[in-house]
Each structure stands twice: as structure tokens, then as C-alpha cells.
Structure 1
Amino acid sequence: MSKSTPATNALAKARIAFTLHVYDYDPDAAKVGLQAAEARGEAPHRVLKTLVAEVDGKPVCVIAPSDSEVSMKKVAAAFGGKSARMMPVPDAERITGYKVGGVSPFGQRKRLPTAIEETALAEPHVYVNGGQRGLQIRLAPADARAAAGATAAPLIA
């Protein structure tokens, strides 16, 4: 597994401190983020999932704890829209340049407007996908927010 991805390159270029953690990715896992948390022995609320959605037909990126459900109503509100829905997998992969299960909020092919669940910012550290299935990046949540250019908002149901 390569530990150099567009995500890690973007963080290095921004001079953001992070560490990489590899785990055995299970493609059959019902919830990838929860499987990553279990494999790492980390609290699931500190392992953040990266979702690609559409708000009023425009792509957005959502970062939220892996043990929570994202409210599409709150996602729409966070981006000043009326409605939100998950983006179809092929479209999400094309726009971000990452395979689903490996989508990172950093180093995407096209930088998307991004929101991070506000409760994640209270954690001492978080994990986000490193741009490859089985690769997690550990960093300070404020650094994750800054690197993704994210706004903090209530996103979970």
C-alpha cells in the first residue's frame, strides 16, 4: 500500500502534522468507518467518515463521526440549501478522484464545499480516510477542518 496519496500530499504541502495508520480494510463491512474504528481499536466517534452528497444538485463533502447518522435536512441547512441527498457512487468517485471506502476530504480532484460535524472539533484527535482503502490519517480536528476548508455545523440526526 502506498502511503503517498493526494490526501497525504495535500496535508504535507499545508504543513499540517499527521500520522498514518494502516488497517485491514473489509470490503464487505456494512459500515466502513465502524470497521476502521474497530480495526484501529479507536472510539468510533473519533473515526470520521467522509461522504459526498448533493445539496440542491451541487456536490458537497460531509465529515461526520462514523458511529452517527447524517441528517440530510441538516446537511442542506449547513450549505444554505433546501434539499440534500447522497451522491451516486460513480459520480462521487469521478468528482473526488477516490474510490468509495477511501474518500478523503483532502486532496480531492475538485475541492468541494465541506462541512464537518461540530462535535468532532471537541475531540483531542480524529481519524479521517487517507485517500486509500485501509489508510487512516490521525490529526487534530482543528487541523482537519482547516485543511478541508470546512465549516463546522450540526450534521448528525
Structure 2
Amino acid sequence: MDTTLHPNVAHVADVLAEHGATGRPHVFTEPVPTAAAAAEQLGVEVGAIANSLIFDADGEAVLILASGAHRVDTTRCATVLGVSSLRRAKPDFVRAATGQRVGGVAPVGHPTRLRTLVDVWLRAYPEVWCGAGEPSAVFPTTYDELLRLTGGTPAEIGD
């Protein structure tokens, strides 16, 4: 792991510390842009990876934290959020909403707090790993802490 932090990762680390989070970012020498890649590097089940996925909900950015073992059911999530539809956001939309790029989006550290759904399946893992602002960085947390940090709503997000 690299000890020099990209500014996005340093910002995520600061936000985590400010909110009393227990985990700190880990930076790998290679990007881990997918749940499978992160799980392999960490030696954990893919379900313990919380994918930070940004969706366009009628022009509003929403964050869905999905277990790496699940696909997001956009119809179900749109209903939970009370919006007409959800579309996977384009990279420019993601960067504008989060200040981070696809493949490394963290659940925290965005310019504004995003409406967030948190996959209830993540609670099955004592430790959950999330993106930390860049594709080569992750941090550990717990399901309960993730809810607290994001102000997210627990939800059945998919299959």
C-alpha cells in the first residue's frame, strides 16, 4: 500500500476522522475499480464490498450503496426514493455530483450530501469495504456506521 494520498482520498480520510469513523483509507498499488477486484485484493467476499453507485433521479444525483453481490433494481429503488425513474449516471454527472470519478466513488466527501440508499444485505458482514475517493483506495467500516456517515436509508436494492 502507498502512503501518499491523492487529494480525494485525503479528503475522504478527513471526513471519516471528523465523523468519528473507525476505518481509514487503504491505498493499493493497482486500481480496484470493481467489487470483484477489491474483494480479491482484500481477501473478502464480494458481498462485503459496498459499491458506491451514482444514479440520475430526474436530474438529482442519488447514491446507492449496493453489496458487490447484488445488481440494483432501478424500478424498486425509484419507488423507494419516490422518483419517476433512475438512470445510471454518466461519468461527467458522477464527477460533478461527487468530485470523484467512477470506480472510486466514496460514500462520503461529496460537495453536498446525497440522498442515499444502503443495501440491507451489507448488514450481514461485520466489516464492509467502500471506495475512498479514487479507484485504488478503499476503507473499512460497518453497516451501522455506513448508515450514520451517509444519513442513508436501509433498503432492499436488488436481487
Instruction: Provide TM-score, normalisation by structure 1.
Output: 0.90
Q: Look up the match of 2:23.
A: 18
For the Cα contact (< 8 Å) 1:114–1:151, is it kept in 2?
A: yes
Q: Look up the match of 2:39.
A: 37
User: What is the CA distance between 1:21 and its match in structure 2?
Assistant: 2.6
2:5 is the counterpart of 1:2: yes
Deviations 1:59-117 (A, max 9, x none): 10010111221111122022112211111111111110001111101111222111100
Question: What one-letter code is carried by the residue in structure 2 that aligns with 1:97?
Answer: G
For the Cα contact (< 8 Å) 2:76–2:157, is it kept in 1?
A: yes
Q: Look up the match of 1:144.
A: 146
Q: Look up the match of 1:121.
A: 123
Q: Secondary structure at the match of 2:123?
A: helix
Q: Look up the match of 2:73.
A: 71
Q: How many residues align?
A: 154
2:154 is the counterpart of 1:155: no
Distance in 2 (alpha carbons) for counterparts of 1:109 and 1:5: 15
For the Cα contact (< 8 Å) 2:57–2:84, is it kept in 1?
A: yes
Question: What one-letter code is carried by the residue in structure 1 that aligns with 2:16?
Answer: L
Q: Please tell me the root mean square deviation across aligned C-alpha atoms, in Å.
A: 1.7
Q: Look up the match of 1:110.
A: 112
Give the unaligned 5+ runs of structure 1: none
Q: Look up the match of 1:52.
A: 54
Q: Secondary structure at the match of 1:132?
A: coil
Instruction: Provide TM-score, normalisation by structure 2.
Output: 0.89
User: What is the CA distance between 1:26 and its match in structure 2?
Assistant: 4.3
Give the unaligned 5+ runs of structure 2: none
For the Cα contact (< 8 Å) 1:71–1:156, is it kept in 2?
A: yes
Question: What one-letter code is carried by the residue in structure 1 that aligns with 2:61?
Answer: P
Q: Look up the match of 1:97.
A: 99
Distance in 1 (alpha carbons) for counterparts of 2:30 and 2:143: 23
Q: Secondary structure at the match of 1:92?
A: helix
Distance in 2 (alpha carbons) for counterparts of 1:17 and 1:99: 24
For the Cα contact (< 8 Å) 1:6–1:106, is it kept in 2?
A: no
Distance in 1 (alpha carbons) for counterparts of 2:76 and 2:5: 36
